[in-house]
Structure 1
Amino acid sequence: MIVAMIIACEVAFWVLLAAGLAFRYGLRMPRTGLLLLLCEPLLEIVLFAVTAIDLKNGAEPDWRHGLAAVYIGFTVGLGHSTIKWADARAAHRFAGGPPPARAPRYGTARAVHEWKVAGRWVVAALVALALLQAAVWYVGGDGDTGSLRAWQVRMLWLIGINVIIAASYTLFPKREPKREPERKPERKPEPAERR
């Protein structure tokens, strides 16, 4: 049941996102579109409630409960940036908005960008870690929490990988390739004027 709920929440996330953008730009109803986009967090609340009820009813905590916590964490950490990304592209495509800004490619600007991306992933992992720890405490010492602890280890690895990637852009910044100076085309001598 938990896996089906996670899949339903993921499908509903994209349906709400598409509907919100369609109302906002296609039907020119920005308030309705914004209202649909603001319904996104309700999906995580529903999934959280279903998972808690499942554990309360005596279900053994397993990988599905851990996956639910991870899904909620990822939606909290990455959902807003995903919505902003899609909104910028829809505004450009359907409402004449400015083209979406591209990520910087070189130097300090790229390092800052990578730290922001890493920050979103770290927030996602920390939320998942907190939910997983809450589930461990909720189950108590009598239950088998090994699968929940395994998810916590994965989240710590995720944090480490993202920090390493961002730090690599800081320590070894990608440099813009040197361009050769443009040569002015040689001017052909004009033929002598006829007299």
Structure 2
Amino acid sequence: MLLAHPDDPDKCIKITYTRNPDVEKQELKYYRRHQRRGISWEMLAKTYGSVENSAGSGVMFSLARDFDGSISRTLDSYLADDRLTPPATVLTELFSNFRSYMLRERIVVRELKPDNIVLQRLTPNQQRLILIDGLGNNQCLPIANYMSTFAKRVILRKWNTFEADLLKKFPDNNTVQRVIAGG
């Protein structure tokens, strides 16, 4: 669950409801690793650490807002409605840029899902994707955390799974079907 930060409209607090209390700690560990590496935060929500509030324990993050001030919506919400889905050329570019960013910055995720990504409208004609959840490595042997070659393999495998899942989740969205099919 996301809560708007009471004192800062550009931040939010993600309240973690999970059976595994270590998920929040693990996620913060990966964020600290990326901070030490000096990555670009252009397509990954930046963390500001753990916080306690009346709703429970949470993690404070940057909040993506569109050019008009509204909170950016999930990719899932855009793909669920054909009328909101960006044109194929735009969606292809968004996917390509996001995948390139993940590979360049070695952003390994537990799972890549359209509800863990927001589509931020920077201008009426310019958008970008931002990962807001799912950061981490859920492999038994997390060598991808330490070796670029393995990180890239894991990212590409997760990307292929993401695309396959999109095809299944949005079988009636012709734009998604065309973009992933490559044409």
TM-score range relative to shorter protein: 0.3 to 0.5
The TM-score, its normalising length taken from structure 1, stands at 0.31
The TM-score, its normalising length taken from structure 2, stands at 0.33
Higher helix share: 1
Higher strand share: 2
Larger Rg: 1
